[in-house]
Amino acid sequence: MNPTQEASIDALKGQRIGVLGYGSQGRAHALNLRDSGLDVRVGLRPGGATATQARADGFAVAAPAEVVGGSDLVAVLTPDMVQPQLYREAIAPHLRKGGALLFAHGLNVHYGMIDPRADIDVILVAPKGPGALVRREYERGAGVPCLFAVQQDASGHARARVLAYAAGIGGARTQLIETSFREETETDLFGEQAVLCGGATELVVQGFETLVEAGYQPEVAYYECMHELKLIVDLLYEGGLAQMHKYVSETAQYGDLTRGPRVINAETRQRMREVLTEIQDGRFAREWVAEYAAGNPHYKALKQRDLEHPIEKVGAALRAQMGWLQAPKATVKGAAVTPIKNTGTGG
């Protein structure tokens, strides 16, 4: 049977779900599961801002170890790098035999930073979208597609449990795709590094710098290389390459087909393979663990460099004039628009 059709919340009815973490995914999962009729408690450290938010949302909140001890399924939705310690201190000593341990990303299990007990189910549900979207789509009666996997089936009911969880957060309303911890982890990291975050942002910055270096106005370069990217991504999201080609000009299409492969080419593909190899053999994971353990000095420096790049300063000034990006207002009619000074040399 198609897993999307097979999924039902029945396997989790009458069971308690403990959600550890109440950030983007944690809040969305907890709210959706509860609205699906399931019994949810939230495990958080006392006194934190997220604990206040969870209580305001009507959840019973307790320390992680207490929530784990009283749960049949525990969803670990905290940041990746804090999960190993959380498992050692709050989960492994308290999760009942035959219980289920669920992750939204397989990194810690796949790379051996968490070695789950043999007497529990180990499962994964990874929505293909941020928590805000998971919640919003659920509220409007839809859902975000989810990957799901069973790493360890100690109870004999792991598949039913993972599908029930996916149904509970709304994934079964759209599409469920079966995968493995390895495939989810390695493809997710590759997508982030080579395309979605690393690749796309670096392409934008390099394009911006190329135009500014050639004497064009930074504001114009920003619009061409950053702002308009959303228009193309939306077309790709809605209908793939065919949709994009349908709605851009023939001039743009010809430039795409003839010049695009000169920018992103076989050399790029080879570097992508190298990035993928570092993910597959664990080098990236080891590097990130070591960086985190050292207090993130390199990470913080690189992030600060990004935030100080001229494209950020130009972009902030331009976005301040885009009324549609601001918080909803009664009206933006008649709003003053400050002319942009020509700071370039033309071209």
Residue from 186, 107, 104 nearest 146 by CA? 104
pLDDT tens per residue across span 83-142: 999 999 999 999 999 999 999 999 999 999 999 999 999 999 999 999 999 999 999 999
Q: Is 155 known to sit in a ligand binding site?
A: no
pLDDT tens, position by position, 15-31: 999 999 999 999 999 99
Q: Decide: helix, strand or coil at residue 210.
A: helix
| DSSP-based helix, strand, coil % in the chain, nearest 5 | 55, 10, 30
Rg of the chain over Cα atoms, rounded to whole angstroms, equals 23
**How far, in Å, CA of 77 to CA of 70, rounded?**
17
Q: Is 224 annotated as a binding residue?
A: yes
Residue 131, marked binder: yes
Total Cβ atoms within 10 A of residue 38 = 22
Determine if residue 287 is labeled as part of a ligand binding site: no
Across all residues in the chain, what is the average pLDDT? 92
To which H or E segment does residue 41 belong? strand 39-43
CA distance 125 to 106: 9
105 is catalytic: yes
Which pairing describes strands 146-152 and 121-127: parallel, antiparallel, or unpaired? antiparallel
Burial class (CB in 10 A: 0-12, 13-18, 19+), 318: middle
pLDDT band at residue 300 under the 50/70/90 scheme: very high
At 56, the amino acid letter reads: A
8 Å CB contact between 19 and 168? no
Length of the chain: 347
- 187 annotated as a binding-site residue: no
Provide the pairing of β-strand 73-76 with 16-20.
parallel
Sign of the C-alpha dihedral computed for residues 130, 125, 14 and 93 taken in this order: negative
Whether pLDDT at 345 is above 60: no
Q: Return the structure tokens found at 196.
A: 């979605």
Nearest Cα to 71, choosing from 14, 31, 115, 147? 14
Q: What is the CATH number of domain 3-179?
A: 3.40.50.720
Task: Give the start-to-end residue ranges of the domains of the chain.
Answer: 3-179, 197-264+295-325
Catalytic, out of 29, 94, 105, 110 = 105
Residue 334 confidence (pLDDT):
35
Give SS3 for 144.
coil
Contacts with 210 (C-beta within 8 Å, 6 or more apart), sequence order? none
Q: CA 44 to CA 64: how far, in whole Å? A: 6
